[in-house]
């Protein structure tokens, strides 16, 4: 097998992605990063929000497509709009803060006022614009947006395929993921945000990397009971990774937790016996208690959607590229809208246990990712290996390429989509 591939004659970034490896300069080269913003983030569907983050008319969330600031907002009829966060006059952002509720967007600089649908409503001292400014042409710039199961995506590319087609084989897994709510509609319950000094693709890879789990998360596993530790001991189990097309992949770690509405008659795990008792004491039926308990810890898989969102066991993982060597991660906690308080509370506590800046899992992931970034500066001909499991692939029931749970099948899927996008000419 080839081990040395010289890169000095490679001129295109797409050529730095091979079937079984990628070149380490993809993590650290600022020019490549700028090219990615143009060819990846500006040319594909990018996840921005979950509908429950903007529940009411006037609710908004600020986000970015690549590096471009956008507003995701519900208008008075509760229709969702995505707009560039930039006043059409002199370019100031018109909306600040993570989330909130407003009646309108008013530019703080000269007071141009926009409706929730982005239309330019009023501006101070309009007489100086007499005959030279048509308000109908100066609304906030709309961005094409489509949703699937409450997940709001947008794209700057008007002729891109519909979101439904882009998600394709991933939709089946999204449908399973939303069963997190335990019979109630999925609801975002706040997020953890942190930055790490490393490239965005290191995080993209990590969501489909089961191989690291028992090594990096040893301290997390030590903090849960024996029964839960067994559940997380999945590398020798029946799990798998499946390439879902378009760069998406699913990594099933715990097959028995793929469908949270099945096997409701399973014994209640000891770690949830208090929750089950509380729910029963509140008068919930036996079936309801079992459905909630089964859903409380999340599903048994990570769905990695290219390029910036994952439905990761129990939460949304959203990555935001900052620079070649810096990435912001949002871990969005999820619960059930209208679900019993003790259920949502337990989900929040479980999320805090692993996720976020002080979780028992994330800081150790962060340490590994920082080291990947630092190590990527060593040598000139360094390749990042993605060949794990390549010789033992099979075909899934859905006809997709499938590898072992700890194979790098999902990473290869993501990088092939990356290669495809990076191969397009920048004029497109």
Partner 1 sequence: MELDTQLLANVTAFLNIEADMLDNKEYHQWLDLWLESGLYIVPVDHNATDYANALNVAYDDHQMRLLRIERLTSGNAISTQLSEKTVRTMSRFRILDDVDGLVRVRCAYCLYENNKNGIRSYPANLQFKLARDGSSFKIAEKVVKIMKSSQYLTTISYLF
Q: Which residues bind partner 1 (CB under 8 A)?
A: 98, 189-197, 216, 218-220, 222-223, 328, 333, 341, 344-345, 348-349, 351-353, 356-358, 360, 362-364, 366-368, 370
Which two structure tokens, joined as six digits, stand for 386?
């993605």
User: How near is the Cβ of 372 to partner 1 at its closest, in Å?
Assistant: 13
Q: Do residues 38 and 47 make contact, with C-beta atoms less than 8 angstroms apart? A: no
User: How near is the Cβ of 413 to partner 1 at its closest, in Å?
Assistant: 27
User: How near is the Cβ of 192 to partner 1 at its closest, in Å?
Assistant: 7
Q: Distance between CA atoms of 319 and 309, rounded to whole angstroms?
A: 6
User: How near is the Cβ of 354 to partner 1 at its closest, in Å?
Assistant: 11
Measured from the CB atom, the residue of 23 and 217 that comes closer to partner 1 is 217
User: How near is the Cβ of 69 to partner 1 at its closest, in Å?
Assistant: 14
User: How near is the Cβ of 53 to partner 1 at its closest, in Å?
Assistant: 13
User: How near is the Cβ of 225 to partner 1 at its closest, in Å?
Assistant: 11
In Å, how far from its chain's centre is CA 327? Answer: 13
User: How near is the Cβ of 79 to partner 1 at its closest, in Å?
Assistant: 28
Burial of residue 425 (CB within 10 Å: 0-12, 13-18, 19+) is exposed
Measured from the CB atom, the residue of 321 and 366 that comes closer to partner 1 is 366
Measured from the CB atom, the residue of 189 and 413 that comes closer to partner 1 is 189
Measured from the CB atom, the residue of 126 and 375 that comes closer to partner 1 is 375
Measured from the CB atom, the residue of 176 and 313 that comes closer to partner 1 is 313
Measured from the CB atom, the residue of 12 and 219 that comes closer to partner 1 is 219
CA atoms within 13 A on the CB side of 124: 7
Measured from the CB atom, the residue of 347 and 412 that comes closer to partner 1 is 347
Measured from the CB atom, the residue of 185 and 190 that comes closer to partner 1 is 190
């Amino acid at each position: 097998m080839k081990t040395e591939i010289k890169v000095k004659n490679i001129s295109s970034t797409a050529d730095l992605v091979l079937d079984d490896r990628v070149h380490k300069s993809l993590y650290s080269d600022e020019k490549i990063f700028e090219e990615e913003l143009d060819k990846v983030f500006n040319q594909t569907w990018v996840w921005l929000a979950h509908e429950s983050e903007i529940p009411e008319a006037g609710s908004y969330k600020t986000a970015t497509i690549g590096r471009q600031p956008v507003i995701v907002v519900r208008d008075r009829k509760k229709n969702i709009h995505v707009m560039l966060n930039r006043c059409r006059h002199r370019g100031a952002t018109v909306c600040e803060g993570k989330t909130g509720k407003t009646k309108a967007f008013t530019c703080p600089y000269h007071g141009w006022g926009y409706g929730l649908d982005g239309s330019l409503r009023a501006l101070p001292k309009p007489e100086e614009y007499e005959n030279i400014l048509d308000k109908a042409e100066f609304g906030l710039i709309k961005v094409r947006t489509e949703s699937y199961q409450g997940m709001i995506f947008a794209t700057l590319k008007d002729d891109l395929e519909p979101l439904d087609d882009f998600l394709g084989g991933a939709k089946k897994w999204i449908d399973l993921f939303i069963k997190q709510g335990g019979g109630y509609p999925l609801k975002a319950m706040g997020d953890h945000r942190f930055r790490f000094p490393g490239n965005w693709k290191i995080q993209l890879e990590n969501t489909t990397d089961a191989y690291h789990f028992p090594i990096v998360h040893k301290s997390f596993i030590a903090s849960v009971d024996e029964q839960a530790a067994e559940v997380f001991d999945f590398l020798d189990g029946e799990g798998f990774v499946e390439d879902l097309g378009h760069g998406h992949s699913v990594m099933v770690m715990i097959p028995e937790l793929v469908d949270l509405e099945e096997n409701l008659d399973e014994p209640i795990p000891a770690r949830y016996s208090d929750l089950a008792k509380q729910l029963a004491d509140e008068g919930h039926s036996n079936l309801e208690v079992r459905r909630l308990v089964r859903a409380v810890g999340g599903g048994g898989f990570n769905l990695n959607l290219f390029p910036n969102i994952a439905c990761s066991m129990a939460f949304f993982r959203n990555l935001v590229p900052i620079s070649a060597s810096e990435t912001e991660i949002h871990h969005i906690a999820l619960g059930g809208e209208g679900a019993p308080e003790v259920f949502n509370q337990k989900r929040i506590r479980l999320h805090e246990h692993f996720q976020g800046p002080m979780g028992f899992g994330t800081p150790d992931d962060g340490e590994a990712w920082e080291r990947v970034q630092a190590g990527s500066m060593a040598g000139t001909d360094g390749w990042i290996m993605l060949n794990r499991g390549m010789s033992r692939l099979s075909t899934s029931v859905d006809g997709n390429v499938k590898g072992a749970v700890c194979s790098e099948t999902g990473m290869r899927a993501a990088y092939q989509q990356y290669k495809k996008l990076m191969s397009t000419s920048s004029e497109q």
